[in-house]
Chain A
Amino acid sequence: DTGVSQDPRHKITKRGQNVTFRCDPISEHNRLYWYRQTLGQGPEFLTYFQNEAQLEKSRLLSDRFSAERPKGSFSTLEIQRTEQGDSAMYLCASSPSSGVRGNTIYFGEGSWLTVV
């Protein structure tokens, strides 16, 4: 079990460019989450997948953001036409499905995005 892995760890991009982040969850975890964290703040929920189905999206997820999990394994988060306000750390997390109260959500190390 190698944990949740994210790629790239760091990305610097010019405003207006598109960026894509990848997340590989812990194997056999069918729940996958994306969060965004800005400096000095706690992580904020963006979206959630149960297997390949995207079941919930936060209002923070503008129409420039799209997330996919095509085969219920890895996931991608794409940001189109990046803006400076998109600069943040994007965290991916996974957990087993419900059934056990207090199931732990495991986080990756995050992908830092800097828009210049």
Chain B
Amino acid sequence: GDSVTQMEGPVTLSEEAFLTINCTYTATGYPSLFWYVQYPGEGLQLLLKATKADDKGSNKGFEATYRKETTSFHLEKGSVQVSDSAVYFCALRVESSASKIIFGSGTRLSIRP
């Protein structure tokens, strides 16, 4: 079945450090890929998405490139801030009758001042 595997956390970095959170997927079809972010006590917010191979999604300094050959969608940011502390979820969606989103288990990111 369709699934997402992402880097286990927690990840702790100092402010202005470079961030990478790895994500790989398995899908029976041709998925769209997403990163969602969840701040403490809040619901899920879409961070960025990519709908086809080699697309790059970007938002708020975060980027991720859809790599079909390696079935990956790694999240990167060049210089993290304390306000980026949150849980990050990689997800996929295969267009079908339900087109539901399937999530990874999440990576908790903590940024030290």
Q: Which of B46, B49, B101 has the most CB of A within 10 A?
A: B101
Q: A91-B44, A107-B43, A108-B43 are in contact. Are A101 and B32 (CB under 8 A)?
A: yes
* Nearest Cβ on chain B to A59's Cβ, whole angstroms: 12
Which of A37-45, A65-73, A80-88 is the interface stretch? A37-45
Q: Which of B46, B51, B100, B102 has the most CB of A within 10 A?
A: B100
CA distance A25 to B11 in the complex (A): 34
Q: Which of A33, A41, A43 has the most CB of B within 10 A?
A: A43
Query: Is there an interface contact between B99 and A103, defined as CB atoms closer than 8 Å?
Result: yes
Chain A interface residue count, Cβ-Cβ cutoff 8 angstroms: 25
Query: Is there an interface contact between B104 and A42, defined as CB atoms closer than 8 Å?
Result: yes
Give the chain B neighbours of A91 by CB distance below 8 A. 43-44
**B57: nearest chain-A partner, CB-CB:** A102
Query: Is there an interface contact between B93 and A102, defined as CB atoms closer than 8 Å?
Result: yes
Q: A42-B4, A91-B44 are in contact. List 5 more A-B contacts (CB 8 A).
A: A44-B103, A45-B102, A48-B100, A104-B34, A106-B46
* Nearest Cβ on chain B to A49's Cβ, whole angstroms: 10
Give the chain B neighbours of A33 by CB distance below 8 A. 100-101
Give the chain B neighbours of A106 by CB distance below 8 A. 46
Query: Is there an interface contact between A56 and B93, defined as CB atoms closer than 8 Å?
Result: no
**A100: nearest chain-B partner, CB-CB:** B51
Query: Is there an interface contact between A41 and B105, defined as CB atoms closer than 8 Å?
Result: yes
Chain B CB within 8 A of A31 CB: yes
Q: A40-B106, A42-B89, A42-B106 are in contact. Are A55 and B44 (CB under 8 A)?
A: no
Contact with A along B102-113 (1 / 0, CB 8 A): 111110000000
